[in-house]
Amino acid sequence: MSKLKQSVTKENVVQAILVADTFEDEFVPISNNLPLCLFPVVNKPLIDYTLEFLSLGGVEEVFLFCCNHVNEVKSYIRKCIDEAVGWTLTMKVQIIVSESCRSFGDCLRDLDAKGLIRGDFVLLEPGVISNINLLPLLKKHSEILQNDKGAAITLVFQESALGHRSLCPQDESLVAYNNKNRVLFHKKIQKSRDKKAVFPIFQEIFLENSSVSIQHNLRDTHIAICSSSVLPLFSDNFDFQTKDDFIKGLLINEEILGSTIYCHILKGSDYGSAINNWRMYQAISLELKNKWVYPIVPPTKRNRVIPEDSIYSLSSVMGLNSTMYRSVIGSNVTIGEGVKIQDAFIFDNVHIEDDVDISLSVIGPGCVIKKGAKITVGSILGQGVIIDENVFVENTLVQNRPSEDVLAQPEDKIGEFAYRLRACEDEEDLNVDRILAQKFSRLHIHDESYECEYDSENELSDSSEELSHTYSPPPDDTKLFFTEVIDSLTRGYEDKLPCDNLILEVNSSRYAYNVTLREVNYNVIKAILIISQKLPSGTQYFSVMTQMLCYFSPLLKNYIKNEAAMVDCLQAVEDVAISESDLKDKWIIFLLKYLYEKDFLNEESILKWFATLKEHTKLHTQVKPFASWLQEAEEEDSSEEDESE
């Protein structure tokens, strides 16, 4: 007690805020039962690493902000204090509970209201694992603060490199800073629409600063040193939901808010990273095993490292002829004979029977996998799932009870205690990109052949490199706009609202999301087509569709006004036709014919568009009869005109 009293009376206690929840569904279904901070990382709860890092880094008081699974976290912290685990000796942990918070920003606003923070502090996003000494960073920050009163935050970055497994594509960012380490420009490339930083943006940066460094290989460590002004800034700007919002807001409104951002780039054996998706979970587990975070290392007691980079807890039993490769096995796991485990993470109390094959997957606590089952590529099994004999699971999220969602389908049932979880139930199949993003953010695939290609042929590696850049754009403004349009149109069609109101609605969303006119054209047409997909199929389909198009014709007329709009419209038709595989054969012809007859499209634009289509594709063959009919009609027209002259 005497120690704690001392630290309270001291003027400058080093404080840290650790937000425990991600507020995202990245770790579903395992996170349904287990909070992220108690996820075992190489057989030790994640929060242990974070707190150990903070205590080694010189922090004396931590505010642990908890919104979900509060009791589990509380009892874990209490257990640590009872057992006098290393970090409890020098650091005080306060758990702050607020179940009403829905975002990172909410948490900080709540903390601001409580007024617990007294000076500069360390701010951690969920899942941070690091080994840096925070005291020099805090000192540097206060020095900066003396020269620049507006300095709000020092972001900590680590230099990584493209292609490294721990540089997650979602975190790919572009940072420009001057020789005083002041951040002038920060952009998360995947979260923005164009994936490009246009050079003219930089112009004033170059004019105002004598030297500017632009780096693209930085990874956000999710650690930041904050001035006391940060919490009030969050309170004043209640639209700041995440730290990214905060950075973006501060950089854009620099003059208004009068706050600046600085950055610190880690050197040498300093390491910082955060587990915010499965891919990072995998990367950090491997890096912990390879001692990149030294002196913070995975527990050596009761754990055994075996060749081929696997670690298993000594309380687990493994059968004959079973092989493990780059995997982590938790405690009390029983593994049968002839089991193959590769690049997998097996949590505690899992029972695996003979001849099971598991690769690139995460098996949640208490799962049972029966004989001969195969679980591969990016599957995540929630708590207590039972996989029956000889079942094949690939790239799915599985939980042990049926999904409550209305859209859950009977075929999602894999076994009595195994139900497939749809990745994006609420957005259905529209958001293919999003699903793809989730898929790729799961586990990084160590494909040996891919590595070979990478070495031997530069061209190939280039193309795969590009691939790694283009997948997984999270929802950006255009996407949000698109879903909004679909919502309003569906509602309008069901309630038979007048189309003029719909046009107003679409236009207002257009301004809200700052979308260009051409994108509006494209998205409105696409939305209508998507809605047409959902009409009841059957013999009546085309007549219902005609009715629907009729209903929407004022809307079409409003948006398809000129040649450029026609091109956009056809582009939308093409995209929908390609992405929707189970289209009716005649659908495309029917649609084009309708649009042509109602004069929304003219023949030149259709023919021009047809010429750009690739030959021998399904679409090409489908459209071909219509195009040739158009061509003939045109020739007839012209010949008729000739005759008439």
Partner 1 sequence: MKDNDDLSDIIKLISDIKHKNILSSYDVALRTEKLLENLISHGKWDSALELMDLVKQRIKCFSQSLPDEPTASNIMKHILKIIRDEYQLVSKKKGETHSLQQIVKGDSSNVLDYSENVSNLRSALLDHLSEYKDELETSTENIAAQASEHIHSNETILTVGKSRTVEKFLKSASKQRLFNVIVVEGAPSYLGHSMAAALAKSNIQTTVIPDSAVFAMISRVNKVIIGTHTVLANGALRATSGIYVVALAAKHYSIPVMVLSHMYKLTPLYLGSNDHDSFNICASPASVIPYSFGSVLNSADIKNPMFDHVPPELVTLFITHQGGNAPSYIYRLLSEMYHPDDYEI
- The amino acid that residue 509 corresponds to is S
Closest CA to 17 of 107, 80, 84, 106: 107
For partner 1, the closer of residues 270 and 388 by Cβ is 270
The enclosing H or E element of 282 equals: helix 278-289
For partner 1, the closer of residues 465 and 574 by Cβ is 465
Among positions 182, 191, 413, 446, the unique one binding partner 1 when judged by CB under 8 A:
446
Q: Quick one: which segment of 268-276, 313-321, 516-524, 545-553 binds partner 1 (CB under 8 A)?
A: 268-276
Question: Is the dihedral angle over the CA atoms 609, 610, 616, 617 positive or is it negative?
Answer: positive
The enclosing H or E element of 605 equals: helix 603-612
The distance of closest approach from Cβ of residue 159 to partner 1 in the complex, given in angstroms and rounded to an integer, is: 4
Closest CA to 156 of 265, 276, 293, 17: 265
Among positions 25, 58, 475, 589, the unique one binding partner 1 when judged by CB under 8 A:
58
The distance of closest approach from Cβ of residue 291 to partner 1 in the complex, given in angstroms and rounded to an integer, is: 4
- Strand 212-215 to 183-188 pairing: unpaired
- 295: cis peptide before it, omega within 30°? yes
Sheet arrangement for strand 303-306: 303-306, 310-313, 328-329, 345-346, 361-363, 379-381, 397-399, 418-421, 413-415
Sheet arrangement for strand 151-159: 92-97, 61-66, 15-19, 121-124, 218-226, 151-159, 260-266
> Residue 468, interface with partner 1 (CB under 8 A)?
no
Query: Both tokens of residue 25?
Result: 């569904």
> Residue 67, interface with partner 1 (CB under 8 A)?
no
The distance of closest approach from Cβ of residue 3 to partner 1 in the complex, given in angstroms and rounded to an integer, is: 6
Asked whether 153 and 230 are in contact (CB, 8 A), the reply is: yes
> Residue 624, interface with partner 1 (CB under 8 A)?
no
The distance of closest approach from Cβ of residue 189 to partner 1 in the complex, given in angstroms and rounded to an integer, is: 17
CA–CA distance, 103 with 67 (Å, rounded to integer): 10
CA–CA distance, 174 with 205 (Å, rounded to integer): 14
The distance of closest approach from Cβ of residue 89 to partner 1 in the complex, given in angstroms and rounded to an integer, is: 5
> Residue 452, interface with partner 1 (CB under 8 A)?
no
Query: Both tokens of residue 357?
Result: 């094959």
> Residue 451, interface with partner 1 (CB under 8 A)?
yes
Q: Quick one: which segment of 43-51, 242-250, 265-273, 423-431 binds partner 1 (CB under 8 A)?
A: 265-273
For partner 1, the closer of residues 451 and 500 by Cβ is 451
> Residue 79, interface with partner 1 (CB under 8 A)?
no
> Residue 263, interface with partner 1 (CB under 8 A)?
no
Show the site string, 106-135: x = touches partner 1 by CB under 8 A, - = not: -------------------------x-x--
Among positions 8, 149, 159, 629, the unique one binding partner 1 when judged by CB under 8 A:
159
> Residue 328, interface with partner 1 (CB under 8 A)?
no
Query: Both tokens of residue 375?
Result: 């679980």
What is the b/e burial string over 566-583, where b = at least 16 CB atoms within 10 angstroms of the residue's CB?
bbbbbbbbbebbeeeeeb
Residues 350-379 that bind partner 1 (CB under 8 A): none
Residues 1-20 that bind partner 1 (CB under 8 A): 1-3
Closest CA to 16 of 125, 109, 149, 110: 125
Q: Quick one: which segment of 20-28, 236-244, 446-454, 574-582 binds partner 1 (CB under 8 A)?
A: 446-454
CA–CA distance, 100 with 420 (Å, rounded to integer): 30
- The amino acid that residue 194 corresponds to is D
Q: Which residues of 110-149 form beta strands (DSSP E)?
A: 121-124, 128-130
Among positions 293, 503, 560, 591, the unique one binding partner 1 when judged by CB under 8 A:
293
Number of residues that bind partner 1 (CB under 8 A): 38
> Residue 299, interface with partner 1 (CB under 8 A)?
no
For partner 1, the closer of residues 157 and 234 by Cβ is 157
CA–CA distance, 254 with 233 (Å, rounded to integer): 12
Among positions 84, 198, 256, 406, the unique one binding partner 1 when judged by CB under 8 A:
84
The distance of closest approach from Cβ of residue 429 to partner 1 in the complex, given in angstroms and rounded to an integer, is: 33
> Residue 462, interface with partner 1 (CB under 8 A)?
no
CA–CA distance, 331 with 347 (Å, rounded to integer): 7
> Residue 56, interface with partner 1 (CB under 8 A)?
yes
> Residue 329, interface with partner 1 (CB under 8 A)?
no
Q: Quick one: which segment of 54-62, 429-437, 512-520, 630-638 binds partner 1 (CB under 8 A)?
A: 54-62
> Residue 307, interface with partner 1 (CB under 8 A)?
no
Among positions 90, 228, 241, 331, the unique one binding partner 1 when judged by CB under 8 A:
90
Show the site string, 518-537: x = touches partner 1 by CB under 8 A, - = not: --------------------
Query: Both tokens of residue 252?
Result: 């854009």
- Strand 151-159 to 260-266 pairing: parallel
Q: Which residue has the tokens 């075992």?
A: 40
CB atoms inside a 10 Å sphere around CB 340: 16
CA–CA distance, 552 with 526 (Å, rounded to integer): 13
> Residue 164, interface with partner 1 (CB under 8 A)?
yes
For partner 1, the closer of residues 131 and 260 by Cβ is 131
Where does residue 54 rank: exposed (0-12), middle (13-18), buried (19+ CB within 10 A)?
Answer: buried
For partner 1, the closer of residues 186 and 444 by Cβ is 444
The distance of closest approach from Cβ of residue 458 to partner 1 in the complex, given in angstroms and rounded to an integer, is: 14
> Residue 453, interface with partner 1 (CB under 8 A)?
no
Where does residue 3 rank: exposed (0-12), middle (13-18), buried (19+ CB within 10 A)?
Answer: exposed
Query: Both tokens of residue 248?
Result: 């973006």
Q: Quick one: which segment of 175-183, 233-241, 287-295, 561-569 binds partner 1 (CB under 8 A)?
A: 287-295
Q: Quick one: which segment of 267-275, 406-414, 496-504, 594-602 binds partner 1 (CB under 8 A)?
A: 267-275
CA–CA distance, 284 with 222 (Å, rounded to integer): 14
CA–CA distance, 64 with 18 (Å, rounded to integer): 5
Q: Quick one: which segment of 65-73, 192-200, 284-292, 573-581 binds partner 1 (CB under 8 A)?
A: 284-292
Q: Quick one: which segment of 52-60, 137-145, 420-428, 604-612 binds partner 1 (CB under 8 A)?
A: 52-60
Q: Which residues, 6 or more positions from 495, have their beta carbon under 8 angstroms from its beta carbon?
A: none
- 136: cis peptide before it, omega within 30°? no
> Residue 466, interface with partner 1 (CB under 8 A)?
no
Residues 192-221 that bind partner 1 (CB under 8 A): 217
The distance of closest approach from Cβ of residue 18 to partner 1 in the complex, given in angstroms and rounded to an integer, is: 19
Q: Quick one: which segment of 152-160, 172-180, 201-209, 595-603 binds partner 1 (CB under 8 A)?
A: 152-160
What is the b/e burial string over 239-252, where b = at least 16 CB atoms within 10 angstroms of the residue's CB?
ebeebbbbbbbbbe
> Residue 136, interface with partner 1 (CB under 8 A)?
no
> Residue 300, interface with partner 1 (CB under 8 A)?
yes
Bridge-partner residues for 463, per DSSP?
none
Among positions 305, 517, 550, 578, the unique one binding partner 1 when judged by CB under 8 A:
305
Kindly list the residues in this chain that would bind partner 1 in the complex (CB under 8 A).
Answer: 1-3, 55-56, 58, 84, 86, 89-90, 131, 133, 158-165, 217, 268-271, 290-295, 300, 305, 309, 444, 446, 451, 454
